[in-house]
Amino acid sequence: MYNSKIIGLGKYLPEHVVTNDDLSQMMDTNDEWIQERTGIKERRWIKEGTDDTSAVMGAKASRMAIDRAGLTKDDIDFIVFATMTPDYYFPGCGVQIQDMLDMKNIGAIDIRNQCSGFVYAISVADQFIKTGMYKNILVVGSEYHSNGLDKSTRGRGVTVIFGDGAGACVLSREEDTTKGILSTHLHSEGKYADKLIVEAPSIKHWVPEIMESKEDLSYFPYMDGTFVFKHAVVRFSEVIIEGLMKNGLQKEDIDMLIPHQANLRIAQFIQKKFGLSNDQVFNNIMKYGNTTAASVIIALTEAWEQGKINEGDNVVLAAFGSGFTWGSVIIKW
Ligand code: COA
């Protein structure tokens, strides 16, 4: 048995910044409401006319991660790609990365677990490395939300939250099993699927049906925000504690918590509950909004770039989202 270890991190954010004031030109909202409820000041949205998509942004972040790992594309044995906004209904974005990076004919899978997507993706990659099947795996999280949001006042409760972006890491074999990813913890509760959902187009509810009716808005995300919030704070706490207990760690042992960037208020609630200082929790939702499957890996990359994660640190990743799904990853950096 081996452990897996992150040896390279990358990110890509589209250049186009959309501030809360920009949103108030499109819909009835305002900077004060958005900042007070979510902590978000601005987000990145892909500008019309550019080539960026979930796969293209994922490829850009991947090149950076592979480069920083000191590897080449030919050293990668497998691709795991997390997104809820793939370029195509099928095939998934993982195979596009294989092509865009001109890689060998390695395997590629997509993970569809929304805000928990990256935590699920890294957990899947970790298993392949632990068993010895693969040595270096590229794990990507990328989302292109902006093209699928309702930008009228009708959609304001959801649209102001989401941003576009991508992150990637290279997970590699680590012989010392006291280092790297120590454990991962995954959960789901499908009875709440309809609380945060994009219902269509789906095979059950296909495009011609939607086009027949002007009132059918099932292709826009629906979210019961208050319900999601209440469950998020409980599940985040539970799954972090589960991970700490599994490894004989106390909350005081956390050097860096990277929570999925759903809402700054959720992250602050968790921070307070665990008695962590500002240096022990990393947030960047203020700049990027909620980038779903990309949020944890973008935040991890930025925390590392800013020198906030050092060798030997206990790093905790945690996420909660649509499904509901939630999970945590405990890492000895
Ligand atoms: N601008 C201004 N007003 C808005 C608004 C916006 N963007 N969005 C909603 N409102 C209004 C609502 O219409 C409502 O008005 P009313 O009282 O006249 O009906 C009021 O603000 C309160 O709406 P509500 O949805 O109850 O707000 P909230 O306090 O629950 O905050 C969220 C909304 C979305 C910020 C919050 O519920 C949340 O963050 N939930 C978790 C979401 C999340 O994490 N999702 C990602 C998956 S993990």
Quote the ligand 1 centre to 157 CA distance (angstroms).
Answer: 5
Quote the ligand 1 centre to 285 CA distance (angstroms).
Answer: 16
Distance in angstroms (rounded) separating the CA atoms of residues 242 and 235: 10
Closest CA to 150 of 198, 208, 113: 198
pLDDT at 38: 97
Distance, CA of 311 to chain centre: 23
Q: Residue 306: is it exposed, middle or buried by C-beta count within 10 angstroms (0-12/13-18/19+)?
A: exposed
Angle between helical axes of 295-305 and 117-130 (0-180°, round to 10): 80
The model's pTM: 0.97
Does ligand 1 lie within 6 Å of residue 222's CB atom? no
Angle between helical axes of 264-273 and 31-38 (0-180°, round to 10): 30
pLDDT in tens, 132-174: 999 999 999 999 999 999 999 999 999 999 999 999 999 999 9
Does ligand 1 lie within 6 Å of residue 225's CB atom? yes
Q: Which residue has a Cα nearest atom 29 of ligand 1?
A: 37
pLDDT at 198: 96
pLDDT at 19: 98
pLDDT at 231: 98
What are the φ and ψ backbone dihedral angles of 34, each rounded to 5 degrees? Answer: -65, -45
Q: What is the mean pLDDT of residues 300-309?
A: 98
Distance in angstroms (rounded) separating the CA atoms of residues 280 and 200: 39
Question: What ligand 1 atom has the least distance to the C-alpha of 265?
Answer: 39
The question of whether 115 is a catalytic residue gets the answer yes
Does ligand 1 lie within 6 Å of residue 314's CB atom? no
The question of whether 260 is a catalytic residue gets the answer yes
User: Kind of pairing, strands 78-82 and 107-111?
Assistant: parallel
Q: What is the mean pLDDT of residues 271-284?
A: 97
3-class DSSP assignment, residue 157:
helix
Does ligand 1 lie within 6 Å of residue 2's CB atom? no
Percentages of the chain per state (helix, strand, coil), in multiples of 5: 40, 25, 35
214 has pLDDT over 90:
no
For residue 276, give the amino acid letter. L
